[in-house]
Protein backbone atom coordinates (compact mmCIF):
# COMPACT_ATOMS: atom_id res chain seq x y z
CA UNK A 1 0.00 0.00 0.00
CA UNK A 2 1.33 3.42 -0.94
CA UNK A 3 0.94 6.16 1.62
CA UNK A 4 0.38 9.87 1.24
CA UNK A 5 2.99 12.18 2.75
CA UNK A 6 2.15 12.62 6.45
CA UNK A 7 1.30 16.33 6.20
CA UNK A 8 -0.98 15.74 3.21
CA UNK A 9 -2.70 12.82 4.92
CA UNK A 10 -3.33 14.93 8.04
CA UNK A 11 -4.78 17.77 5.97
CA UNK A 12 -7.10 15.37 4.13
CA UNK A 13 -8.34 13.81 7.39
CA UNK A 14 -8.85 17.25 8.92
CA UNK A 15 -10.83 18.44 5.91
CA UNK A 16 -12.98 15.33 5.97
CA UNK A 17 -13.79 15.91 9.65
CA UNK A 18 -14.69 19.54 8.90
CA UNK A 19 -16.85 18.58 5.93
CA UNK A 20 -18.65 15.97 8.01
CA UNK A 21 -19.22 18.61 10.67
CA UNK A 22 -20.76 20.92 8.06
CA UNK A 23 -23.15 18.17 6.98
CA UNK A 24 -24.11 17.62 10.61
CA UNK A 25 -24.52 21.34 11.38
CA UNK A 26 -26.60 22.01 8.26
CA UNK A 27 -28.81 19.01 8.98
CA UNK A 28 -29.29 20.07 12.60
CA UNK A 29 -30.21 23.59 11.48
CA UNK A 30 -32.72 22.23 8.97
CA UNK A 31 -34.29 20.05 11.63
CA UNK A 32 -34.49 22.89 14.17
CA UNK A 33 -36.06 25.28 11.67
CA UNK A 34 -38.55 22.66 10.55
CA UNK A 35 -39.50 21.85 14.14
CA UNK A 36 -39.92 25.53 15.07
CA UNK A 37 -41.41 26.99 11.88
CA UNK A 38 -42.61 24.12 9.73
CA UNK A 39 -42.43 24.05 5.98
CA UNK A 40 -43.44 27.23 4.16
CA UNK A 41 -42.16 29.47 1.38
CA UNK A 42 -39.62 31.18 3.60
CA UNK A 43 -38.26 28.03 5.21
CA UNK A 44 -38.08 26.25 1.85
CA UNK A 45 -35.55 28.83 0.65
CA UNK A 46 -33.44 28.18 3.74
CA UNK A 47 -33.79 24.41 3.35
CA UNK A 48 -32.53 24.74 -0.23
CA UNK A 49 -29.54 26.78 0.92
CA UNK A 50 -28.66 24.32 3.67
CA UNK A 51 -29.20 21.40 1.31
CA UNK A 52 -26.76 22.96 -1.12
CA UNK A 53 -24.12 23.25 1.61
CA UNK A 54 -24.72 19.64 2.66
CA UNK A 55 -24.49 18.38 -0.90
CA UNK A 56 -21.27 20.25 -1.59
CA UNK A 57 -19.71 19.06 1.67
CA UNK A 58 -20.81 15.48 0.95
CA UNK A 59 -19.45 15.57 -2.59
CA UNK A 60 -16.10 16.90 -1.41
CA UNK A 61 -15.96 14.34 1.42
CA UNK A 62 -16.57 11.58 -1.11
CA UNK A 63 -13.96 13.01 -3.48
CA UNK A 64 -11.30 13.09 -0.78
CA UNK A 65 -12.22 9.57 0.31
CA UNK A 66 -12.01 8.33 -3.26
CA UNK A 67 -8.62 9.96 -3.75
CA UNK A 68 -7.40 8.44 -0.49
CA UNK A 69 -8.50 4.98 -1.59
CA UNK A 70 -7.00 5.37 -5.04
CA UNK A 71 -3.70 6.55 -3.61
CA UNK A 72 -3.63 3.67 -1.12
CA UNK A 73 -4.14 1.28 -4.02
CA UNK A 74 -1.14 2.75 -5.83
CA UNK A 75 2.11 0.82 -5.92
CA UNK A 76 4.89 1.17 -5.08
CA UNK A 77 4.24 4.83 -4.26
CA UNK A 78 1.63 7.50 -4.86
CA UNK A 79 2.10 8.98 -8.32
CA UNK A 80 2.87 12.64 -8.81
CA UNK A 81 -0.37 12.96 -10.80
CA UNK A 82 -2.36 11.58 -7.87
CA UNK A 83 -0.60 13.92 -5.45
CA UNK A 84 -1.38 16.81 -7.78
CA UNK A 85 -5.08 15.85 -7.86
CA UNK A 86 -5.16 15.65 -4.09
CA UNK A 87 -3.37 18.96 -3.65
CA UNK A 88 -5.71 20.71 -6.10
CA UNK A 89 -8.74 19.24 -4.36
CA UNK A 90 -7.42 20.28 -0.97
CA UNK A 91 -6.71 23.83 -2.16
CA UNK A 92 -10.18 24.14 -3.74
CA UNK A 93 -11.93 22.83 -0.65
CA UNK A 94 -9.88 25.00 1.72
CA UNK A 95 -10.73 28.07 -0.36
CA UNK A 96 -14.46 27.34 -0.17
CA UNK A 97 -14.85 26.12 3.42
CA UNK A 98 -15.12 29.57 5.00
CA UNK A 99 -18.07 30.51 2.78
CA UNK A 100 -19.83 27.25 3.56
CA UNK A 101 -19.35 27.72 7.28
CA UNK A 102 -20.52 31.31 7.00
CA UNK A 103 -23.69 30.20 5.21
CA UNK A 104 -24.58 27.87 8.06
CA UNK A 105 -23.76 30.49 10.71
CA UNK A 106 -25.87 33.13 8.97
CA UNK A 107 -28.86 30.81 8.85
CA UNK A 108 -28.44 29.99 12.52
CA UNK A 109 -28.25 33.68 13.39
CA UNK A 110 -31.21 34.68 11.22
CA UNK A 111 -33.37 31.99 12.79
CA UNK A 112 -32.03 32.44 16.34
CA UNK A 113 -30.67 28.92 16.55
CA UNK A 114 -27.51 29.81 18.44
Q: pLDDT tens, 38-70?
A: 999 999 999 999 999 999 999 999 999 999 999
84 has a pLDDT exceeding 60: yes
For the entire predicted model, the pTM comes to: 0.93
% of the chain with per-residue pLDDT over 70: 99
14 has a pLDDT exceeding 70: yes
HSE toward the beta carbon, residue 100, CA cutoff 13 A = 25
Look at residue 2 in the predicted model and tell me its pLDDT: 76
pLDDT-based confidence at 97, cuts 50/70/90?
very high
φ, ψ (nearest 5 deg) of residue 77:
-145, 165
Amino acid sequence: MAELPQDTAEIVWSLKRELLSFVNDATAAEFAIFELFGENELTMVIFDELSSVKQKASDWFERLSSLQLRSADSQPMVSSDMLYLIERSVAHIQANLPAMGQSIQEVKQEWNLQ
